[in-house]
């Protein structure tokens, strides 16, 4: 039956072990900024919020437009610098779609370990492949390393 109490009932301690505490993204971002001796400014907070609300994949221009559509302001330079900081924090990751501009997807809160890019249409599909994530962990463990992130990208044509 499972559980930690007689008769299969779960005790408070067994339930606590199952709870996974997820840190708010603003706290993750703040920690990254603090490590770089930078401040969590209102502009950066607005850019983070806009990035999390965009359909994926998105580019820097879409992010700038999303901030402006909310009636807020952030310079193009601030958006580009913040994108780099969001990548450093592991909140977004770049995916190669076009030669001229990087595109981004959220890398937190998802189990997807693969990105399928259609070369002929430019569409992107996020694919849940736990075996790829397991392979990444196994490669790191064999070398005594701790995985931080991984990306498996497949380019396909119809």
Quickly state the pLDDT bin for 15 (edges 50, 70, 90).
very low
User: From the CB of residue 107, how many other CB atoms can be counted at a distance below 10 Å?
Assistant: 19
* Per-residue model confidence as pLDDT tens digits over 49-60: 999 999 888 899
Quickly state the pLDDT bin for 69 (edges 50, 70, 90).
very high
Three-class SS state of 24: coil
Quickly state the pLDDT bin for 3 (edges 50, 70, 90).
very low
Average pLDDT, the chain: 80
Q: What is the pLDDT of residue 22?
A: 52
Q: What is the Cα–Cα distance from 60 to 62, expressed in whole angstroms?
A: 5
Q: What is the Cα–Cα distance from 110 to 91, expressed in whole angstroms?
A: 11
Q: Which domains does the chain show, CATH number per domain?
A: 1-108 (1.10.10.10), 110-158 (3.30.1490.190)
């Amino acid at each position: 039956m499972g559980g930690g109490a007689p008769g299969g009932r779960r005790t408070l301690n067994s339930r606590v072990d199952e709870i996974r505490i997820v840190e708010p993204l603003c706290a993750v971002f703040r920690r990254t900024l603090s490590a770089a001796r930078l401040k969590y400014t209102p502009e950066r907070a607005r850019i983070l919020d806009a990035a999390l609300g965009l359909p994926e994949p998105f580019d820097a221009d879409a992010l700038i437009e999303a901030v402006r559509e909310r009636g807020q302001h952030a310079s193009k330079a601030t958006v580009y610098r913040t994108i780099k900081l969001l990548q450093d924090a592991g909140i977004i990751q770049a995916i190669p779609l076009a030669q001229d501009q990087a595109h981004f997807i959220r890398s937190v809160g998802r189990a997807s370990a693969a990105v399928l890019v259609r070369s002929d249409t430019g569409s992107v599909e996020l694919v849940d492949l736990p075996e790829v994530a397991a392979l990444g962990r196994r490669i790191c463990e064999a070398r005594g390393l701790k995985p931080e992130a991984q990306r498996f990208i497949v380019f396909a044509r119809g």
